[in-house]
Structure 1
Amino acid sequence: MQSVPEEWREDGGGGGDGMIMRSRGDPDRKNGGRGREEVEKESLMMELTRLVQKMVKESSWWERRGLDCSILAAAFLCLPPAFLLLASSQLLWFSSGLLLMGVAHAVITVKGTHLASHGALSESQAWGKFWAVFFIEVCGSFSAQAGVHGHIKMHHAHTNVVGLGDSSVWKVPFLPRTVYLFLAPLAVPVITPLVALAQLKGHSLALVVRTVLMVTLGLYSQYWLLINVSGFRSAFSALLCMLVCRAMFSVPYIHVNIFQHIGLPMFSPTRRPKRIYQMTHGVLNLPRNLLLDWTFGHSLINCHVEHHLFPFLSDNMCLKVKPVVSKYLTEKQLPYQEDSYLSRLHLFFHKYQELMVFAPSITELVGVQ
């Protein structure tokens, strides 16, 4: 293993809500009760961190990164046969090519971009930046800088803190619930590059040019291959195929992003609990799902709690430490929230106005603030 990552450190990795140990001269410690209580709270995250760190150190490169890199490589290897199958005039083979490309695109643009944004694909910072630009901009049609800032520095640092990392970016209150939950997500492939351009306002010319070139490269490459390899005869049919492939998993993608945070406790920017309480109260795991586990990754589905506690871990490592984390939180009488996909869908459909339209109420976690 390399030097201890920032997230392992006792300051909690940012956001101002970490677990900084009090010095011996701290007044609260001298005063007894309150100081000891603070140290006990702070030591919970540090104790769990040591348990997880031990597992990471004992794990092979294959477990830490290799398996997830292999899944991404397999997705890229699926693209050539997908383009060839799309050239077939037989409906079965054409449909197989469409499905194969849609699955590969989801793996690359959801799992790949998520891991790349966290630097989980390489221990090298230089390679980490390269993969972030490649996956987020070339493959995902979004700005790497805006994506990393919004996801890492806002959502993870301020999970469920109102006005900072409260997932409000996923709310579109003027849309009816049926449209929002089942129809609007199909427009995500079109909206994403437009939002990326809007996010570039105020940035340097070099960054704007790079992002535009990388996004254009990704989109045009798929279009060119559909025309020249798959044999599409018109620009309209090629663009329609691109839209279908890129929107194939858009509905569950939107669902997953709202199911795991919205509707859970919300915190005030000035009164937030310690990190371990913030993450265990404000994050929810969905159950194992063979399709989504492979396309989105464990850290976005059944190990989301583990991911928010230790965001630098790969999908496979999140799955490996899951028994340790769940057991520890249960023993310490901390919440380990889990719910089914259909249960969350039922909740959001019937409480859409409360959860997605009106402003969320702030939760007071008495005794742990």
Structure 2
Amino acid sequence: MQKVTEEWTEMEERRTSGTSAAGKKEQKEECETLMMELNRLVQKTVRDSSWWDRRGLDCTILASAFISLPTAFLLLSSSHVCYFLLGLVLMGVAHAVITVKGTHLASHGALTESSAWGRFWVVFFIEVCGSFTANVSVKSHVKMHHAHTNVIGLGDSSTWKVPFLPRSVYLFIAPLVVPIITPLVAMGQLKGQPLYTAVRTVVCVCVGVCSQYVLLRCVSGFTCSSALLVMLLSRGMFSIPYIHINIFQHIGLPMFSPNRRPKRIYQMSHGVLNLSRNRLLDWIFGHSLINCHVEHHLFPSLSDNMCLKVKPIVSQFLKSKALPYQEDGYFSRLRLFFHKYQELMVFAPPITELVGVQ
């Protein structure tokens, strides 16, 4: 990680060495012009797109996840092993769609144009469904991570860095306890929050957790311990890839000093990486977290489907301007992190702010 940071610093020093004040001003204006030019191209595509493309498709996917839940509860009540497993998988998929894709889109206001409904969906998805506190989540993710992507000490990487854990434990075992840790971390983040916010968060988190527990007891017919076990399994079903995408798309890429950071288009093109298309994860987590992460960081208010739609425009533009458009496969990144765990995770610059979903 230190090597990556040094490489970027050296590159900047070579680029700016011998450059006059006028030359630096010209470079700054060039960066701003590039971002404005790309923004015009993307916004034209957004304006020409239908409501279905802008929001409808993603809202339908989220609605489908909610609609599938009654079937999941009923299947879990079956004594037939195949039906039971199908119900468990269905509940796990629905939970991941709602708590990852839903919370991410809601935090960026990508579900609706109404500010009032936007605030409602933030609380609903993040606190009721995701068992976390909305205010902290939006501040840390939108205002810190997106504003300071890969800036050391600010928005540099993932919440879920535990460098004292061995690599195999961190990558494949520790993520399974995320469903337990998340509400505990949420309660810890309430310190210093207004009383109304703290009470609302506690009530919403309890409503979300207790409603699933009660339905498993009353509809699926589980005992207390069995209901808790099913809750853990369904909520943790996709926690391993969830942790992976948190670290794959930023860590190991160039990082910037708070005092020597490039303009937005350079920061995002150098510090963000897209994972290759993966139909399962694209659908469950959303394109903006998987194969359109560069587009998402450049235009965070776009929905998953719109990020996918503008992807050819963004990639072609960056390449035409000799800027990096970084892409890699999921398993390629997994091999990299497994073999370079010490360099990328243990000796990485420290985190001072909570980041969350990337």
Q: TM-score, normalised by structure 1?
A: 0.88
1:340 aligns with 2:315: no
Question: Could you report, residue by residue, the CA deviation over 1:128-148 in whole angstroms, capped at 9, with x for unpaired residues?
Answer: 000000000000000000110
Match for residue 200 of structure 2?
210
Q: Secondary structure at the match of 1:348?
A: helix
Match for residue 81 of structure 2?
91
Match for residue 11 of structure 2?
none
8 Å Cα contact 2:158-2:247 kept in structure 1: no
For 2:267 and 2:242, how far apart are their aligned partners in 1?
Answer: 24
Match for residue 297 of structure 1?
286
Match for residue 81 of structure 1?
71
1:317 aligns with 2:306: yes
Question: Could you report, residue by residue, the CA deviation over 1:297-350 in whole angstroms, capped at 9, with x for unpaired residues?
Answer: 000000000000000000000000000000000000000000001110000001
Match for residue 284 of structure 1?
273
1:357 aligns with 2:346: yes
Match for residue 3 of structure 2?
none
For 1:167 and 1:37, how far apart are their aligned partners in 2?
Answer: 28
Letter in 2 for 1:174: F
Report how far residue 168 of structure 1 moved. Answer: 4.7
Match for residue 188 of structure 2?
198
For 2:311 and 2:62, how far apart are their aligned partners in 1?
Answer: 22
Question: Could you report, residue by residue, the CA deviation over 1:33-81 in whole angstroms, capped at 9, with x for unpaired residues?
Answer: 4433322221001100000010001111111000000000000010000
For 2:27 and 2:85, how far apart are their aligned partners in 1?
Answer: 61
For 2:21 and 2:337, how far apart are their aligned partners in 1?
Answer: 47
Letter in 1 for 2:207: L
Letter in 1 for 2:53: E
Which structure 2 residue ranges, 5 or more long, are not aligned?
Answer: 1-19, 351-358
Match for residue 17 of structure 2?
none
Match for residue 34 of structure 2?
44
Match for residue 184 of structure 1?
174
Match for residue 24 of structure 1?
none
For 1:37 and 1:215, how far apart are their aligned partners in 2?
Answer: 48
For 1:343 and 1:175, how far apart are their aligned partners in 2?
Answer: 22
Per the alignment, do residues 230 and 52 of structure 1 end up closer, same or farther by CA in structure 2, a change over 3 Å counting?
Answer: same
For 2:131 and 2:218, how far apart are their aligned partners in 1?
Answer: 22
Letter in 1 for 2:263: K
Report how far residue 204 of structure 1 moved. Answer: 1.2
Q: Secondary structure at the match of 1:251?
A: helix
For 2:21 and 2:158, how far apart are their aligned partners in 1?
Answer: 41
**Aligned pairs for 1:154-193 within 5 A:** 154-193=144-183
1:308 aligns with 2:297: yes
For 1:280 and 1:37, how far apart are their aligned partners in 2?
Answer: 16
Report how far residue 169 of structure 1 moved. Answer: 2.2
Which structure 1 residue ranges, 5 or more long, are not aligned?
Answer: 1-29, 362-369
Match for residue 62 of structure 1?
52
8 Å Cα contact 2:158-2:246 kept in structure 1: no
Aligned residue among 263, 266, 272 for 2:255: 266
8 Å Cα contact 1:266-1:360 kept in structure 2: no
Q: Secondary structure at the match of 1:316?
A: helix
1:228 aligns with 2:227: no
Q: Secondary structure at the match of 1:169?
A: coil
Letter in 2 for 1:266: M
Q: Secondary structure at the match of 1:67?
A: helix
8 Å Cα contact 1:181-1:255 kept in structure 2: yes
8 Å Cα contact 2:153-2:349 kept in structure 1: no
Aligned residue among 233, 236, 242 for 1:244: 233
Letter in 2 for 1:48: L
Q: Which has the higher contact order (CA 8 A, sep 6+)?
A: 2
Moved more, 320-329 or 201-210: 201-210
For 2:22 and 2:225, how far apart are their aligned partners in 1?
Answer: 72
Q: Percent identity?
A: 74
Letter in 1 for 2:339: H
Per the alignment, do residues 35 and 174 of structure 1 end up closer, same or farther by CA in structure 2, a change over 3 Å counting?
Answer: closer
For 2:300 and 2:183, how far apart are their aligned partners in 1?
Answer: 26
Question: Could you report, residue by residue, the CA deviation over 1:264-289 in whole angstroms, capped at 9, with x for unpaired residues?
Answer: 00100111000000000000000111
Letter in 2 for 1:356: M
Match for residue 16 of structure 2?
none
Q: TM-score, normalised by structure 2?
A: 0.91
